[in-house]
Structure 1
Amino acid sequence: MTTLMDLYDERVAEGRIQRDPAQEEALPEFERIREALANEPPAKRTGLFRKPKAPEPPKGLYLWGGVGRGKSMLMDLFVESLNVPVRRVHFHAFMQEMQAELHRLRGEGVEDPVKPMAKAVSDAVKVLAFDEMQITDIADAMLVGRLFEQLFQAGTVVVTTSNRVPNDLYKDGLNRQLFLPFIALIKDKLVVRELASERDHRQDRLKGAKVYFTPIDNTARAEINRVWQELTHGVEEPLVLHVKGRKLELPRYHNGVARASFYDLCGQMLGPGDYLAIADALRLLVLENIPRLGRNNFNEAKRFVILIDALYEARVKLIVSAMDEPESLYIEGSGAFEFERTASRLREMQDASWGHPPA
């Protein structure tokens, strides 16, 4: 039987990851869950007409630590090793999905929609594997407690990463006292473990690397593809965000890293709320094919400015390919003067130290 340590050693031997003692110390917690699920006994029948009683599921895992310490990579290995139905999803995207389903069921007159929502999830998967659990929205804060209580009762195993210790979830949030039972639930149902690596592996991969490619040519495309491969190891899927009842899809996504074209994000009718949702969901964005801006694409240029502002404020790492240097992207038209701030931010975001600081 292939263990998680076996998979980890294989990745090291292949040169895909670098050995890290802190990561190795966290592996037994994942292996504990994998082994328990692989050897789970069948449900016991307690009576002739009673539904078989499911065995007690293993405790889940709450793995927290700074950005780039390898939490998502360990989650990759864990999900790959499982032989039970599992869903791997960014926590923000999952909660957006749950809010949309809550709204739909209430519209249909369902009195207590949380129960059928939880049942649909637990019927579909045995394990929920979340990337980057964080709570910033009061609507999510009010929903997670009841939702996860139902999921745990159904035997769903939750494994999640986070940049924050549980006690700091929804810190200083509105009506936080109503959220505190969820923190207690997390501590009861999940083993809380810190991944205390001294290394930021994500920054190591980009340290000293070029992140702004111009002009847009075969060399730039090849470099963007190389960086993307290093960041994702070829594993990607769409990320669907739910913003005010609408679906916003980023076509290529993996573990907090997304890749999209200028047209994907600025050629569509998107607004500040969309860009804030994108910035909240990502740690790094690869944005390709930024054209020269001006009178002919004024609306797209305005959206681009809003996008960069949102990414900048959230300290999202940015890798781009563009037709020209930042100062020469927008040299004519009524928005050229205002674009000077955006050009300055694009320059600042090229610095090797730029990016979301560890929590």
Structure 2
Amino acid sequence: MRVVARAVRARGLQREVSRRRCHPQVASCSADVQSHDRHRKCYPVAEPRAEQWRCADSPAHPRSLHDAHQSFAARGLATSADASISGDEYKAGPLAEYERRIAAGELKSGDEYQERTLMELQELYENLMRDGYDIGLEKGTPRSSQRNSGGGWLFRHFMPQSKKPSPRGLYLYGGVGTGKTMLMDMFYEQLPETWRKGRVHFHDFMLNVHSRLQRSRGMADPLELVAEEIAEESILLCIDEFMVTDVADALILNRLFDHLFKKGIVLVSTSNRVPDKLYEGGLQRDFFLPFIAKLKERCVVHPISSPTDYRRLTAAETGYYFMGPGASETLHKLFIAELDGEEAKPTTAEVIMGRKLKVPLAGAGCALFQFHELCEMPLGAADFFGLFKNFHTLALDNVPIFGAHNRTSAYRFVTLVDVMYEHRARFMCSAEGTPKELFDKVVTRADAPPKTKTRANLLEDADLLVDDELGFAKDRTMSRLTEMHSKEYLKEHAEAHMSAEHPFSAVREA
């Protein structure tokens, strides 16, 4: 009976969503007149405290997935994967998908940190399903910020206003491998395909912004034009790995998101850092601080502090990571073997904004570089994105231990790993040490040992790299390097590239 009741409630919501699609004037007039005040009381928008984001008469935050079922079902939403809906595409939300994956053995149960995060995502999912039309999520409909532009003063004064503020988004932060990206993607995939929504990595997002700015030169406020273009494409914007290290990005973000939030953007993002720690110690950070305030106002800030690094649980004992004597020779032999008889030769890869990247040796979708040819050259995320749009496998020779002497190279290597991981590319390398040993000399200011005056300690500390951004980023990089050599990741890599429209010829599992 419980399953039937959920299915009936889900169908009721689906009929309401369909009715609002087919008869928008009904949604914007009679529904708003009758229940606008009640809805605003239940779901205040952009309040400074997350505790005020729920109905005054609703129960306290659910303690478990079972309690969450009761809470969400009581509000008329299906929270079970077996409440299937016919007709237009409708999904029950991230909470039900999470349960389905646990039941199918795809995920482990019992992670209370992930469960609490799922409840926040489910709450946002409900708000968006309720207000999707009003805030312009449906493609082909005007956005909320574009409505009520005409009709005269009398009409606007006496008739109900259909312009509706967007609900607050979510900013998920926590340690590496805790499942932030997986949960955000689960939420994103449950939302209708017909919506204005976008999912992007932070590096890719900023590259896209800079590219749009180049095309908007000469405009009075090019950032407002860029924000208008982004809002027209995506009212819901999911950004993975929010990490600000570049002064140009820091100066842009405040004004850009000021425009985006005014245009009704709902932001969902993941990060390793709490908002107050973003761009900490960066140049001209005072200009960046207003962005942090806007972020905290427009997003519920939620920690996911699971002590488990799920990437390391699946780490393979062997992979394509070679160390010690003969590591470089082994890497070269493996690279040649991966070409399946195709000749390796130099080539050039096209990257964004008209740039070109020279590739020393390439063939069959694989590229071979010496470390200094990628990470000691004036290259950035744009070049790396271009590289992995042309190649599915990177062989990198002689990755060094990082310290004060090669700080810039360490930053480039971290960015390279991020872009490679985002593209599900395969990584083969020879290195001076394990992923952990590569970053042993990189520490945050809080973890830096006190300076000593003895000669031995001065020599030992000479190459210590004290850098907050790298100190936080290194855990993510070590975790990803470990996962990228796991059987599960290599299987995902093969499936991703073999299923591409133009599959590479040399992709196969380890």
Mapping 1:204-353, distance limit 5 Å: 204-206=313-315, 208-212=317-321, 216=334, 246=355, 261-262=366-367, 272-274=377-379, 288=393, 290=395, 310=409, 314=413, 316=417, 320-321=427-428, 326=430, 344-345=431-432, 347-349=433-435
User: Per-residue deviation at 1:86?
Assistant: 1.1
Deviation by residue 1:266-303 (Cα, 9 ceiling, x = unmatched) = 7xx9772336767899xxxx97474xxxxxxxxxxxx8
Equivalent residue of 1:61, what SS? strand
1:102 equivalent in structure 2: 213
Amino acid at match of 1:144: L
Deviation by residue 1:277-331 (Cα, 9 ceiling, x = unmatched) = 67899xxxx97474xxxxxxxxxxxx85589984697464996447xxx5xxxxx
The structure-2 alpha-carbon separation of the partners of 1:216 and 1:113, relative to structure 1 and needing over 3 Å to count, comes to same
State the TM-score, normalizing by the size of structure 1.
0.67
For structure 1, which segment, 69-78 or 81-90, has the greater mean C-alpha deviation from structure 2 after superposition? 81-90
Amino acid at match of 2:123: R
Distance 1:42 1:133 in 2: 28
Q: Work out whether residues 63 and 71 of structure 1, in 8 Å CA contact, stay in contact via their aligned partners in 2.
A: yes
Distance 1:163 1:111 in 2: 36
Distance 1:308 1:288 in 2: 23
2:151 corresponds to 1:48: yes
Q: Which runs of 5+ in 1 are unaligned?
A: 222-239, 249-259, 291-302, 327-343
Q: Which one has more relative contact order, counting CA pairs under 8 Å at least 6 apart?
A: 1
- 2:128 alignment partner, one of 37, 48, 52: 37
Distance 1:174 1:353 in 2: 24
2:200 equivalent in structure 1: 89
User: Per-residue deviation at 1:353?
Assistant: 10
- 2:296 alignment partner, one of 171, 187, 207: 187
Count of aligned pairs:
287
User: Per-residue deviation at 1:13?
Assistant: 2.1
Equivalent residue of 1:356, what SS? helix
2:102 corresponds to 1:12: yes
User: Per-residue deviation at 1:36?
Assistant: 1.1
The structure-2 alpha-carbon separation of the partners of 1:36 and 1:91, relative to structure 1 and needing over 3 Å to count, comes to same
User: Per-residue deviation at 1:246?
Assistant: 3.4
2:183 equivalent in structure 1: 74
Equivalent residue of 1:34, what SS? helix
Equivalent residue of 2:379, what SS? helix
Distance 1:275 1:151 in 2: 26
Q: Work out whether residues 314 and 356 of structure 1, in 8 Å CA contact, stay in contact via their aligned partners in 2.
A: no
Percent sequence identity over aligned pairs: 34
The structure-2 alpha-carbon separation of the partners of 1:7 and 1:200, relative to structure 1 and needing over 3 Å to count, comes to same
The structure-2 alpha-carbon separation of the partners of 1:69 and 1:241, relative to structure 1 and needing over 3 Å to count, comes to farther
Q: Work out whether residues 200 and 238 of structure 2, in 8 Å CA contact, stay in contact via their aligned partners in 1.
A: yes
2:463 equivalent in structure 1: none
Distance 2:169 2:356 in 1: 30
Q: Work out whether residues 86 and 125 of structure 1, in 8 Å CA contact, stay in contact via their aligned partners in 2.
A: yes
Distance 1:112 1:312 in 2: 32
The structure-2 alpha-carbon separation of the partners of 1:246 and 1:29, relative to structure 1 and needing over 3 Å to count, comes to farther
Distance 1:56 1:167 in 2: 25
- 2:116 alignment partner, one of 10, 25, 29: 25
User: Per-residue deviation at 1:154?
Assistant: 0.8
Q: Work out whether residues 42 and 54 of structure 1, in 8 Å CA contact, stay in contact via their aligned partners in 2.
A: no
Mapping 1:154-193, distance limit 5 Å: 154-193=263-302
Distance 2:196 2:400 in 1: 36
Q: Work out whether residues 138 and 174 of structure 1, in 8 Å CA contact, stay in contact via their aligned partners in 2.
A: yes
Distance 2:167 2:257 in 1: 15
Mapping 1:191-206, distance limit 5 Å: 191-206=300-315
For structure 1, which segment, 10-19 or 195-204, has the greater mean C-alpha deviation from structure 2 after superposition? 10-19
Distance 1:139 1:86 in 2: 26
User: Per-residue deviation at 1:208?
Assistant: 3.7
Distance 2:351 2:277 in 1: 24
- 1:136 alignment partner, one of 240, 245, 248: 245
Q: Work out whether residues 86 and 126 of structure 1, in 8 Å CA contact, stay in contact via their aligned partners in 2.
A: yes
Amino acid at match of 2:108: Q
- 1:65 alignment partner, one of 149, 174, 183: 174
Distance 1:148 1:313 in 2: 26
Q: Work out whether residues 240 and 270 of structure 2, in 8 Å CA contact, stay in contact via their aligned partners in 1.
A: yes
The structure-2 alpha-carbon separation of the partners of 1:208 and 1:184, relative to structure 1 and needing over 3 Å to count, comes to same
Distance 2:169 2:151 in 1: 32
1:357 equivalent in structure 2: 475
Distance 1:60 1:5 in 2: 17
The structure where strand makes up a greater share of residues is 1
CA radius of gyration, larger in: 2
For structure 1, which segment, 200-209 or 161-170, has the greater mean C-alpha deviation from structure 2 after superposition? 200-209
The structure-2 alpha-carbon separation of the partners of 1:150 and 1:307, relative to structure 1 and needing over 3 Å to count, comes to farther
2:93 equivalent in structure 1: 3
Distance 1:352 1:138 in 2: 26
Amino acid at match of 1:104: R
The structure-2 alpha-carbon separation of the partners of 1:29 and 1:350, relative to structure 1 and needing over 3 Å to count, comes to closer
Q: Work out whether residues 172 and 304 of structure 2, in 8 Å CA contact, stay in contact via their aligned partners in 1.
A: yes
User: Per-residue deviation at 1:57?
Assistant: 1.1
